[in-house]
Amino acid sequence: MTEPIVNDLTIQAATVNGSGSQTANLVLTRAIFKMGVPVAPKNVFPSNIEGLPTWYQLRVTPEGYMARSDRVDILVAFNAATWRDDLGTVRPGGVVIHEESYSTADARTDVTYYAVPFSKLAKSKIPNETLRKQLANMIYVGVVAGVLSIPWEAIEHGVKRQFLSKPKAVQVNLDAVKVGLDYWQDNFSKQDPYRLEPMTGVVEGKALVEGNQAAALGALMGGVTVAAWYPITPSSSLCEYLIAYSDRFRTDAKTGEKRIAVVQAEDELAAVGMAIGASWAGARAMTSTSGPGISLMAEFAGLAYYAEVPVVIFDIQRIGPSTGLPTRTSQGDISFAYTISHGDTKHLVLLPGTVEECYEFGRDAFDYADRFQTAVFVLSDLDLGMNLWMTPSFSYPDKPFDRGKVLSKADLEKLGGEWGRYQDVDGDGITYRTLPGTDHPSAGYFTRGSGHDEHARYTERADAYARNMDRLSKKFETARKALPAPVTDESAGSAIGLIAFGSTNAAVVEARQTLVEAGRPVDYMRLRALPLSVEVAEFVERHEHVYVVEQNRDGQMFDLIKLALPPDLTGRLRSIRHYDGQPIPAEAITEPLLQSEAVAI
Amino acid sequence: MSATLNRVGLPRDAYKGAATTLCAGCGHNSITNHMIKALYELGIEPHLLAKMSGIGCSSKTPAYFVETAHGFNGVHGRMPSLTTGAQLANRQLIMLGVSGDGDTASIGLGQFMHMIRRNIDCTYIIEDNGTYGLTKGQFSATADLGSVQKKGAVNTFQPIDPCAVALALGCSFVARSFSGDGKQVVPLIKAAIAHRGTAVLDIISPCVTFNDHDGSTKSYSWVKDHEESIADVSFIPFFEEVHVDYEPGTVRDVTLHDGSHILLKKLGEDHDPNDRRAAMHVIEEGRAAGHLVTGLLYVDPDSDDFATTEHIPSTPLKDLAEGQLRLTQDEFAQFMSEFA
């Protein structure tokens, strides 16, 4: 046998969706995580309820890399329909755990096969007929545990953790795992080099959290009180988590009263309308959607911009155009979200790059919306939103809500009732508003998406229109300085820089390490908001070549950066794009970058 | 001469707004005046009033009454969603929506229907003239089959009747009236405001510029000739006592949840306003006979509005402070530990 390969492997479970395989995959994930071994799961699922192929990739690295990898070390083949294709994805020397009945005639000879009679075992060893199909998946957990030497305590933890709310299910599931483990021990001897060993140093203090869970918690901590949504993958779980968390934390145990309204709207258009109406009336309000949803929200987004109503819009991006691939990831809404709506409209966009930032930005987005009285888009994506990520615990907020410039009754009395809704008193472009219900005769004003002057009166005057638009620009410039600044690491001291954002960060982190090993260390700037910080141009100025990495076809962020640069710097930009719907792997950065730099030399 | 003050100490003038920019003689201007009268007599506190509208001639009118109240002129056909959100943010607000037939029955039909389904606590007034005025006289979806446009084109499509749609969806308050019939419109507006839940009030409001000619079924003369009121409506607010003399069996008394009363004096055949099927029947009969049936068609005074069914507290959600919204430090730490 070759050198053992410890804690550095990728398991790919190829199953049929709707069959209960996701539970088995999660048990495996949690068991390995319990060993102190870093995990990075990626669920590749179809837009379907039951019967189509689905893959779960569980990557394990001692470094704790969280990007997807194209490399498959261990295949669990549980889907006859994709068996031959799946077999082709395994790297030479890899392991194939497969249903015994799948033919291996003329199959590859450079992999190790463990053929297991899963169906027969399920039939003979799982007495519960109604649960048999689901529990059959747990048998492969047992086989994998056997192959990789996962301790039984870790498996027990994984099953218990997975069935926290259904403790009765724990034993039957453990029994099913045991069936697989016993079969492996009784019938096989270890033929492959892969092994998992308990380790320390990376996962301590970390949790496994989905970005949508983090964003829901963030919204709750940010004080959201009205959320309206329309179901759409991959955003639905955000509001579903919000509902679950609200049932627990925002419901009066005695009266049943809720300190939040979560409304499932009739469409995304109504969803954002409800959020804008609620924000106008003074609540912290949000909606959550994905690409097709923000397309429908375009007109309302313009109203929020022009009438200056705060609203938080989560866009969990999926691949487009049109329906696209509803269950595949993308960063394709960048330029659209930034300027969505007709006329001279532009928006504040937050770009969380980790689940921790999904929490922080999900929370702080409400402060930005109130402070700047405008729409704030939080652009996550399917990879970040729906997969589990290792993360440090989130920090408790250290500052109170920033409700922005709101005049109370007392303020109005002090002003003698003299104020203008769209008057730039402070010179920062941000004006004062009042909320409906403010008991002062001069509190009321008329909010409209049509032309208005400083006192919110309808006007078609050219000078008033232009003045207002210029002030809105000024407000945007104020926001540019206040939004989360890029995170920059120039410790490599390299002439090459890399700019990325959002979930691409995971691949960049890994790629930078590979590039160090290849003798091509690179500096890194991670963008966290639009409009772009002035630091971006400074970063480009300090580097000869700057690669903008993103997950869309057209290099949308590349274009935005190019527009923001002085002409003499634009030639330094290079574009690296990944857009097949799968989360970007590190190789998709290192390979084109090394190739380009080789030519450059 | 000192003006008469209402129960909150305000004169009628306090309910006026900016000067109208609509055409002289527009039915909408009459409705604005009815609105001013109703709000003044009800003693609505302007700061608690939220005037909501979409886009179109009708949707401009919230600027023309209660100038000191907050107003929101949103996007075309989407007033219901804005109203829903604002209502949830602050249950103490009195939501008063003004829409038109294009805003409601064409571009906004979906939101109109879903607002009704949810029973949002609001008054929804449709200033219904069967035509697109601002864009110069195209037919709207409420124009009757066979009615004639100013330039002679004949409408070949079935109309959408907002009242029939509302009834079909279980709307808890449905009424129809005519802008020229202040005696009926004013008590209906008051009743709609007092009602808890979505109150739809379809007011035929002739467009003097584009739809007031022969062949139109939304003209002043047509409506005057064809209006058939099902009952005389009067409204007694909760802060006034009911003392009306009437013969037994001639008046129906509907008590709303706030203690106000709607009194309906029989005119022809008796109509039970609590009977939804009867309301449908009355509309269909009128239509078959070529009449415009007006009055309170249906009311369910006991219906629960959306905020009630959603368990939203009466304290406005917008007023909840950090302490009531954020998890405590301990809850947060416990919650985070559950992810490990």
Q: If you write DSSP's letter for every residue of A204-242 in order, what string do you get?
A: TTEEEEEHHHHHHHHHHHTT--EEEE---TTTHHHHHHH
pLDDT given at position B246: 78
pLDDT given at position B1: 52
Distance CA A277, CA A285 (A): 9
Rg of chain B (C-alpha set): 21
Count of pairs with CB atoms under 8 A, one residue in A, one in B: 215
Relative orientation angle of helices A169-187 and A152-162, to the nearest 10 degrees: 150
Distance CA B51, CA A331 (A): 40
pLDDT tens-place values along chain B, 340 residues long = 568 999 999 999 999 999 999 999 999 999 999 999 999 999 999 999 999 999 999 999 999 999 999 999 999 999 999 999 999 999 999 999 999 999 999 999 999 999 999 999 999 999 999 999 999 999 999 999 999 999 999 999 999 999 999 999 999 999 999 999 999 999 999 999 999 999 999 999 999 999 999 999 999 999 999 999 999 999 999 999 887 777 878 899 999 999 999 999 988 889 999 999 999 999 999 999 999 999 999 999 999 999 999 999 999 999 999 999 999 999 999 999 999 8
pLDDT given at position A271: 98
CB contact under 8 A, A394 and B68: no
Distance CA A505, CA A550 (A): 10
The predicted-structure confidence for B182-235, as pLDDT tens digits, reads as follows 999 999 999 999 999 999 999 999 999 999 999 999 999 999 999 999 999 999
* Residues A276/A280/A285/A289 CA torsion (nearest 10 deg): 10
pLDDT given at position A406: 98
What CATH number is given for A209-392 in this structure?
3.40.50.970
Distance CA B267, CA A42 (A): 71
CB contact under 8 A, B68 and A280: no
Homologous superfamily of the A5-204 domain (CATH):
Pyruvate-ferredoxin oxidoreductase, PFOR, domain III (3.40.920.10)
Q: Tokens 């109703």 correspond to what residue? A: B38
Residues 6+ apart with CB under 8 A from A135: A20, A122, A126, A128, A172, A173, A176
- A 177-216 residues with CB < 8 A to B: 206-209, 213
Distance of CA A525 to CAs A66, A542, A543, B183, Å?
18, 12, 11, 70
Which of A242, A445, A448 should we substitute to test contact with B (largest number of B Cβ atoms within 10 Å)?
A: A448
pLDDT given at position A20: 82
CB contact under 8 A, A207 and B340: yes
Residues 6+ apart with CB under 8 A from A162: A23, A26, A27, A30, A173
Which residue ranges make up each domain of chain B?
12-317
Nearest chain A residue to B76 by CA: give it: A299
Question: Which residues of A are less than 8 Å from B336 in CB distance?
Answer: 207, 393-394
- A 248-267 residues with CB < 8 A to B: 249-252, 255-261, 263, 265-267
Fold that domain B12-317 belongs to in CATH:
Rossmann fold (3.40.50)
Q: For A446, which of B71, B316, B320 is closest by C-beta distance?
A: B71
Tell me whether A434 touches chain B (CB under 8 Å).
yes
Nearest chain B residue to A359 by CA: give it: B336
Q: Do A5-204 and A487-600 have matching folds?
A: no
Query: CA of B66, closest CA in chain A: separation in Å?
Result: 9
Relative orientation angle of helices A236-249 and A211-221, to the nearest 10 degrees: 50
Q: For B75, which of A256, A303, A446 is closest by C-beta distance?
A: A303
pLDDT given at position B324: 97
Distance CA B331, CA B313 (A): 23
If 0-12 CB within 10 Å is exposed, 13-18 middle and 19+ buried, where does residue B304 land? middle
DSSP secondary-structure letter at A264?
A: E
Residues of chain A with pLDDT under 70: 1, 600-601
Distance CA A82, CA A86 (A): 6
Tokens of A240: 């579903």
CB contact under 8 A, B111 and A273: yes
Tell me whether A221 touches chain B (CB under 8 Å).
yes
Nearest one of A69, A66, A81, A70 to A14, comparing CA atoms:
A81
Distance CA B61, CA A264 (A): 31
DSSP secondary-structure letter at A432?
A: -
Task: Please confirm whether the linkage preceding A321 is cis (ω < 30° from 0).
Answer: yes
DSSP secondary-structure letter at A341?
A: S
The H-or-E segment that residue B128 falls in is strand B122-128
| Half-sphere exposure at residue B31, Cβ-oriented, CA atoms within 13 angstroms | 34
CB contact under 8 A, A447 and B71: yes
Which residue ranges make up each domain of chain A?
5-204, 209-392, 409-482, 487-600
Pairing relation of β-strands A72-77 and A90-99? parallel
CB contact under 8 A, A441 and B322: no
CB contact under 8 A, A449 and B75: yes
Give A98-130 as a DSSP string.
EETTS--TT--SSSEEEEE-HHHHHHHH---TT
What CATH number is given for A487-600 in this structure?
3.40.50.920
DSSP secondary-structure letter at A546?
A: E
Tally Cβ neighbours within 10 Å of residue B301: 21
* Strand segments (E) across B243-322: 251-255, 261-266, 292-299
